[in-house]
Amino acid sequence: MAAAGGASSIITQVQQGGPPVNSLGDVGADETIVMDLRGTRFTLSRDELLTLPEFVLLSLFPNGLFPEGHNGGGFADGDAVQVDYDPASLQYMLDFFRTVAQTIPTDGSSVASASQDGDSGVVPLDPGGGVGGARDDTSKRAGIIVLREDLDFYTIPHKQDIGRAEMLDVKRAAARALLKQDGIFSGLKRSDEPGTTEAHLIEMLTAGGFNHDDRWGHRAGEPNKAVICSLALARLRSDIRGSEMGSNAVGMAQKLLLFWRKPARRCWWEGVELDNVDGVEGKKLKVWIRRVWTLEMSVIGLR
């Protein structure tokens, strides 16, 4: 596995399976794609789809947009791509991306104002890492930090000779208890002493756009699985000035651009004890948790 530049000690770069994003290339820029996500329909243009993070596109289309045997020339009227993905999670992401897109200046006066602000030490948004390009170009872009957590949990029976049906009830109760633990960084703060990998990751994300007490924007259990998926989005801060937060914070925010179109993951295990779980009277329920964080940067306004 390759590392993403200076971020190798924080989160590990990974190459996910499946076809590349350009598998959407057979769809015209002005053509709409209809998707059926567990009974909920979405109609999106190719351009809007391509603003989404790469790891989300690979989740939506693990076999490519046009699976083998499908007519690659387009979609028939009413033909929807069947997708096994949480529709509420996608809707949350689309709403956030659309809201940010509406704030990007489009007229000359707004661009000029943004360019003047750029002379005061604002972090430039250049995902390519280069120094070229006019400032009025970067003012037409907005970076979005996309953070996803996949939490698998394994419940330890709290008594001997527990029946299957009762154990299923305990697992559901454990899921409800875990859903309430919705602080983004609550799973990291157990080992956030200064200098640790966890503390470094928190510092980078809070410098970029998150706050220490932020909660997941969307958090829900997967159907018929002991899995909880969470999603949080934050606009990359473009108003960080060296005089206000220090050069270290500026560097941390810039480091996030290493993850533009390069999803990265971090995985860790922990054992927890849950209190007041339904069906478990007078004792704590022991649960093993496996967390997988996926981090990626998206940039709106690039062509």
Q: Say what the pTM is.
A: 0.80
Confidence (pLDDT) at 97: 96
Confidence (pLDDT) at 140: 77
Residue 186: band (very low, low, confident or very high) from pLDDT cuts 50, 70, 90 = confident
More confident residue, 259 or 120: 259
Confidence (pLDDT) at 21: 47
Give the type of residue at 291: R
Q: 110-114, 197-201, 272-276: which has the minimum mean pLDDT?
A: 110-114
Cβ within 8 Å of residue 303, ≥6 positions away = none
Give yes or no for residue 44 having a pLDDT over 70.
yes
Confidence (pLDDT) at 282: 84
SS3 200: helix
Mean pLDDT for 187-202 is 73
Give yes or no for residue 283 having a pLDDT over 80.
yes
Closest C-alpha to 18, from 57, 47, 51, 68: 57
Mean pLDDT for 208-235 is 96
Confidence (pLDDT) at 79: 79
Residue 223: band (very low, low, confident or very high) from pLDDT cuts 50, 70, 90 = very high
Confidence (pLDDT) at 194: 67
Mean pLDDT for 158-166 is 93
Give yes or no for residue 253 having a pLDDT over 80.
no
- Cβ-in-10-Å burial (0-12, 13-18, 19+) of 143 comes to buried
More confident residue, 67 or 284: 284
Confidence (pLDDT) at 255: 85
Residue 131: band (very low, low, confident or very high) from pLDDT cuts 50, 70, 90 = very low
Edge-to-edge strands of the sheet including 218-221? 12-13, 264-274, 285-300, 142-155, 227-235, 218-221
Residue 31: band (very low, low, confident or very high) from pLDDT cuts 50, 70, 90 = confident
> How far apart (Å, rounded) are the C-alpha atoms in residues 266 and 291?
8
Question: Across all residues in the chain, what is the average pLDDT?
Answer: 79
Residue 127: band (very low, low, confident or very high) from pLDDT cuts 50, 70, 90 = low
> CB–CB of 10/204 below 8 Å?
yes
Confidence (pLDDT) at 144: 95
DSSP 8-state class, residue 237 = P
Which tokens sit at 132?
């070229």
Alpha helices (H) along the chain:
46-49, 54-60, 87-102, 108-117, 135-138, 164-179, 197-208, 242-255
Segment 73-126, tens digit of pLDDT: 455 556 788 999 999 999 999 999 999 999 887 755 444 444 444 443 345 556
Q: What percent of the chain is modeled with pLDDT above 90?
A: 50
Mean pLDDT for 115-141 is 50
